[in-house]
Structure 1
Amino acid sequence: MGEAKRYIKAVYQEVMERDPHQTEFLQAVKEFFNSIEPVLERHPRLMEENILSRIVEPERIIQFRVPWTDAKGKTQVNRGFRVQFSSAIGPYKGGLRLHPSVNQSIVKFLGFEQIFKNSLTGLPIGGGKGGSDFDPKGKTDNEVMRFCQSFMTELQKYIGPDTDVPAGDIGVGGREIGYLFGQYKRLNGFHAGVLTGKPIPMGGSLARTEATGYGLVYFTEEMLKDTGKSFKNQKVVVSGSGNVAIYAIEKVHQLGGTVIACSDSNGYIVDLEGIKIETVKQLKEVERKRISEYIVKHPTARYNEGTVWEIDEEYQIALPSATQNEINGTIATKMIDNGVYAVAEGANMPSDLEAIEIYQNAGILYGPAKAANAGGVAVSALEMSQNSLRLSWTFEEVDMRLKEIMTKIYLDCRDTAAEYGVPGDFVSGANIAGFLKVSNAMISQGVV
């Protein structure tokens, strides 16, 4: 066993002993460690400086109580989290997730991934993540407002335009960001750059809503182009029907592909004529209804309970955009049997380790989340730039910059993978490219 392999094994053992029950975080660390042996062999100083032990330990974890009053006047209590993982290349940057599954393991895995995702954008932003086990589904606007105000009353002590700039994630859209920003402003005065994903009148950026979904498709387009393929006349399945999925579907259709299925947490719809994106937007963004309502307006479509990856129809491109670990080895095998030759991830870690191994063994194109879904945080950083400049760019300007960033991320992943002896392995390419920038910054700053 080489020195680099021994070092990686020792550090991973250390992480498992410290946090044995944090399964999502351990999975994210293992996936990262699986691909960085070549860079440690080439740059032994990274081992001398013990960069791995330093990078897997967050700079700060904040956990707090969030009391709020529901519509019946009863006091409820949730847990709030913020993991400030790495500020080596800039202020902490990462979303806030509101979902019953949120715990310390979830926010640590998300924050850890965010370090490298943010590094890949080429923009000066570090990695962080946060959220709460509060579930906004089924809550009134006033209940969501009271929760957000209570959450921000505590969180505002630890964030700021040059310190930590949260954004949205699952369960946190324009409504929640608006309430969070309003409470921050109430307590601290107006600082437009303290949150991103804000409504436009509060200093938000055009194209931010579309950014993650559009960016996912731009990355996939470059990946396809390198093998002489495109979205044109291809059938696509997108899991989820939230912000990422909606705008991925929209952009796929603009590029000539046909999305035949999408889903929510209850089930999925299949429309072989192509998902009607305006109907999905109306259901999810305006009416906040379940995806099953789609068939009321489009009776030729069908609805089934379960995961969208159960479908038997043939399709060529998969864009998992729902949640972590939605695809396991069995599902990955079925996808390939259905004709899938390209997978790009719009959600964070939607494929488990077995699924990734199956993709790679089958030789299909695979764009990992930390590269493929970096469009959201990229435009969040562009929003920060506009706030600092007191300017507002047009939709077309932001979209152009987004496409340039996603193209550069793909090229960096491709070229880095080739440079380190694993051509076509975009997981290794993304991990190594993101890691090198952060680790070099850490070394230059000394032991901090």
Structure 2
Amino acid sequence: MVSNTLDFDVAFTTEPLTRENIFTLKEQIYTSKANYEELEKKIKALRSSISSENLTPETKKNNLILGICLWISGKQDEAFEVLNTLQSNKVACYFLGKCYQELEEYEKALDFFGRSKQANEDEFEIQVDIAETQRLSGDNQGAIKLIQKLSKGHDDEAGLHYQWAHCLDNLGEYEEALTHYNRALEINPEHPNSLFRLAYYYDLNGDDEKALEYYKKCVENAPLYTNAMINLGLMYEDNDDYEKAVSCYYAVLQSYPNHQTARLFLKDAEAGLNMRYDDDKVKKQDQETEVLNIPISDFELSVRSKNCLERMNIITLADLTKVTEYELLSYKNFGETSLTEIKNILNQKGLRLGQAVESEIFIDTDVETGIHDNNLLKSIAEIELSDDCRKTIEEMGIETISDLVAKTETELLEQDSFTQAYVDEINNQLDKLGLQLHN
């Protein structure tokens, strides 16, 4: 894993400058947004320190560092302008080659890579860059020829086998390409490019399980492999897992705040997430409506219970949720046995008596008084009432404030031993909570 601590001194003070230190710094830069901002500060400081007049050795060195920093930050055009004044410098030539390669000007890239390696004809890393540029330009056969030559002394280099595999991939020789991708991973199990190409291969061939496995491995390492993270997000979207897709695109934007593709896909994923929530809500409402519309006649009830419900014009389960336990017991011939039957039916469907009435109270309370629903969930024991008043309330089966505000004053006063003093006491306490008994 790459350290998150930036060290510009290691990369640029050590003489001579080495590509290894610079590439390590680049990896560190893209592990976080904060590191990228540090690079921007470094670029600003370098610009202000460089004189526009005579190029002293110190100015040349700062120009070289500025050009490399601009390349690291992804500003290839600006990097080219700075580095182009230092073509006699081997390191500058190398990074000019990288700029041209990324700008897809492959002939110029090959020219500058060639100049960079003139001082050391056997410099392996630059030869790999040349092979990569040949591949990118479409000269896969030329690239393979160079790679095969290099492999005689460097068969244990993961990057070389990756380039070899990619060339074969481009030529349609997929089985042999897979051999070299896997060889690269044997040498370096975290080689990001090989992990990505294998993930992409399985993705194209419809093997989602394997593709997800390799995409996940690819994005576990620093710095973030943006293409892998974006493709992983797309796969999650295909599986309707919009939460994970959104997190993938956010991760890209944390390291690359201006990544337009990630911004676009994030917007689409968030829209899909909202749509799914809406669909789930509609489905849930449809299911609830379907249950509520079940007729009472579908259930086995005693003749007395059926007759009582018919006389009360209670036809469906929805009708039952609109009446309270007290209202049922107040009806002639409706006793505890019938009440138990009704409760059992509602319990089977996840419903209860008075449920619809309570829902209306929640809505009224929220809109008209702004009181949080938490007050309605409190138990009767949490409000200040006299012992006699609380005991009388509890004997009615009222356990929460929600149960209490579902009652009217008339319903309370119809109970034996329930006095107007108790009602006044209750109203006083409910008023403190911004609540009131049902009208």
TM-score, normalising length: structure 2: 0.22
Higher Cα Rg, which structure: 2
Structure with a larger share of its residues in helix: 2
Higher relative contact order (CA 8 A, sep 6+): 1
Structure with a larger share of its residues in strand: 1
TM-score, normalising length: structure 1: 0.22
